[in-house]
Amino acid sequence: LVERIAGRRHSSAGSIDEYCGAINNEAGRLEKLVNRLLEWQQIEAGQKRYKLEPGSLAEVARSAVQLLKPQAEAKNVSIDLKAAGGIPEILFDRAAMTNVLENLIDNAVKYSPAGGRVTVELHADDAQVFAEVHDDGIGIAPADLPRIFEKFYRGSRGNREDVRGTGLGLSLVKAAMDAHGGKVEA
């Protein structure tokens, strides 16, 4: 697209805006990928540090849902947040937990069909706070379940459905949850 703009091989001024938007989206996607690779390198080197502070997981979930609403709406997928009353503050690294929830919600949206629904539920018991992300997407093949949290692993259904991804997101989710003394499961 840059070559088309530079070579003046575009049909109108409007197409330049369209090309620039596409270039910006791809640059953002590549930046995210580089940041994920750098984060994984820090984790593997034992240099990743989490800053645990008291905070509201409900607030982080609300922000993640708001951030991903435009992506969901573009696919005609609805996102709902259900937070039971009395979710206590917990100690967590806000940036890491934001990435965890955004990744899980993003995956749910990507793998859901048009007209689908993604639900994020928060609840707590006496000792723990739980965040659950549910969708009515294509699901994960049972044979893939044991490996979905491995670095660079992509399930067979994701490849078949031509959904973009690197296979890093869920491994980063697991690493963050392990570092927080929590767990993630599918």
- In this prediction, residue 59 has a pLDDT band, given cuts at 50, 70 and 90, of very high
* Residue 9 · residue 19 · CB < 8 Å: no
What pLDDT is stored for residue 158 in this prediction? 61
Mind giving me the DSSP string for 75-141? TT-EEEEEE-S----EEE-HHHHHHHHHHHHHHHHHTSPTT-EEEEEEEE-SS-EEEEEEE-SS---
Read off the pLDDT of residues 82-123 as tens digits, 9 standing for 90 and up: 987 788 999 999 999 999 999 999 999 999 999 999 999 999
- Percentages of the chain per state (helix, strand, coil), in multiples of 5: 50, 15, 35
pTM of the model: 0.80
Mean pLDDT of 131-154: 90
Beta bridge partners of 105: none
Question: Which residue matches tokens 């947040």?
Answer: 81
Question: Which residue matches tokens 């928060």?
Answer: 122
